Amino acid sequence: MAESASTGERVRVRVPGKINLALCVGPRRPDGFHDLATVFQSVSLADELTATPAPAGVVTVEVAGADAALVGPAEDNLAVRAARLLAATYAPDAGAHLQIVKGIPVAGGMAGGSADAAAALLACDRLWGLDVGTEALLDLAARLGSDVPFTAMGGTAVGHGRGERLRPVRVDHVFHWVLVTSGTGLSTPAVFRRFDELHPPQDVADPQIPDGLLEALQAGDPVALAATLRNDLAEPALDLRPDLGATLGAGTELGALGGLLSGSGPTCAFLAADAEHARALADGFRTRGVGRDIHVVEAPGSIGFPHAGRG
Ligand SMILES: C[C@](O)(CO)[C@H](O)COP(=O)(O)OP(=O)(O)OC[C@H]1O[C@@H](n2ccc(N)nc2=O)[C@H](O)[C@@H]1O
Ligand SMILES: Nc1ncnc2c1ncn2[C@@H]1O[C@H](COP(=O)(O)OP(=O)(O)OP(=O)(O)O)[C@@H](O)[C@H]1O
C-alpha cells in the first residue's frame, strides 16, 4: 500500500493505479475466470481515500476528482463494499464515511475501483483499531476482485491464478511511462468474453511470463523491457474498440520504446527511455490530439506492504 497517515479520527491513504507489463491469459475456467500469468506494476497516478467515523453500521462515500461523475452509485462503489466486508468480518458495529479523490481514470484498465477497495480496507482497519494483519486483509481483498490484492500490495509483483496469487518482485530502478487515456471506458468482463469468442479454449496455452521480462526490470533496462511487453487482451479490446489501434500506432510513430494496452484497456501505456523522453512523447501525443488525457508517470510508483506476497 502507498503512503497513509492518521490524524486523530481521520485516516488518509494514497493508493496507486497499475499497469500490467505482461498480461498472459489462459483458457476460461469453470468458474468463469481465466488463469493469468501477469506482471503488475504500480504507477505514480493515484487515488486518495480518507476515512472518518460514522454511526454503527453506516458506510457512506463521497467521490471527487476528474472522473468522479463516471463512478456509479454508492451502493456499487467497491470501496463501500470493502468497508462493509471488513466490518461484517471483524467489527459488526463499525461505521465510516469515505471520501475518495479520483486521480486514476475510471474504467481505464488501471484498477481504479480495486485501488479504492484496497485503500478502504487499510484505512478502516486503522480507523476501527482492528489491526487484522496483512494476510487477513489480502484474503478479504481477493474476495472483492482479482486486482484488489495487488493494489493493496503495490510495487511490482508476478500474479497467477485469477491475478490474486502474488509474488512481490524487488525492482530498484524507476521506469518512465506515458499514459494515454480514452474518453470512453471498456468493460473488463466484455473484453474477457471477446477473448473467449476469438480463442476456443483448446487453442489457449497455459499462460507464461515472457522470457527476459523480470531480468530487464531488475537490470533497469527499458530497451530490453520494451521487447518483452505483452498483453493478450489487446486483440479482443481492439476488436471492440478499433480506434485504440490509432493510439498505439501514434506511440510507435512518436518513437516510444514500446507500447501496450493497460489491462483490459482502453488506457494505452508507452515506455520511454528516461524522464526527458517521456515528456517529449507526451508533448507529441498532445500536439496530435491523441487520447483524452496524457499523464507522464513513473513505475513502480510506490512501495507495498513488506512481505505481503503469497505464492
Ligand atoms: C484485466 C485485469 O485488470 C488485469 O490485471 C484483471 O484481470 C481484471 O481484474 P478485476 O477488474 O479485479 O476483475 P474481477 O472484478 O475479479 O472480475 C471481473 C470479470 O472479469 C473477468 N475476469 C477477471 C479476472 C480473471 N483472471 N479472469 C476473468 O475472466 C470475469 O469475467 C470477471 O467476472
Ligand atoms: N471506487 C470506484 N472507483 C472507480 N470505479 C468504480 C468504483 N467503484 C465501482 N466502480 C465501477 O467499476 C467499474 C470499473 O471501474 P474501474 O475504474 O475500477 O475500472 P478498471 O480500472 O478498468 O478496472 P480493472 O483494471 O480492475 O479491470 C466502473 O463501471 C465504475 O463505475
- CA-to-CA distance for 113 and 102, rounded, in angstroms? 10
Spatial contact of 241 and 194, defined as CB atoms under 8 Å apart: no
Does the beta carbon of 114 sit less than 6 angstroms from any atom of ligand 1?
yes
Does the annotation place 256 within a ligand binding site? no
304 in a structural domain: no
Amino acid 175: pLDDT? 98
Alpha helices in 91-201 (DSSP H): 112-127, 134-144, 148-153, 188-198
Amino acid 306: pLDDT? 37
Q: State which residues of the chain have pLDDT below 50.
A: 2, 303-311
The enclosing domain of 68 has a CATH number of: 3.30.230.10
Does the beta carbon of 41 sit less than 6 angstroms from any atom of ligand 1?
no
Amino acid 5: pLDDT? 64
Amino acid 201: pLDDT? 86
Same domain? 42 vs 150: yes
57 in a structural domain: yes
* For ligand 1, mutation pick of 38, 146, 209 (most atoms within 8 Å of CB): 146
Among the three residues 135, 168, 201, which one is the final residue of a domain in this structure? Answer: 168
* Long-range CB contacts for residues 132-137, cutoff 8 Å, separation at least 24: 132/86, 132/90, 134/305, 134/307, 134/308, 135/310
The enclosing domain of 203 has a CATH number of: 3.30.70.890
ipTM: 0.97
Amino acid 66: pLDDT? 82
For residue 162, give its domain range. 4-168
Among the three residues 168, 191, 225, which one is the final residue of a domain in this structure? Answer: 168
Amino acid 302: pLDDT? 60
10 Å Cβ neighbour count for 51?
Answer: 27
Among the three residues 136, 168, 200, which one is the final residue of a domain in this structure? Answer: 168
Amino acid 309: pLDDT? 32
**This prediction's pTM:** 0.95
> Is 102 annotated in the active site?
no
Return the bridge partners of 20, or none.
40
310 in a structural domain: no
What is the tally of structural domains in the chain? 2
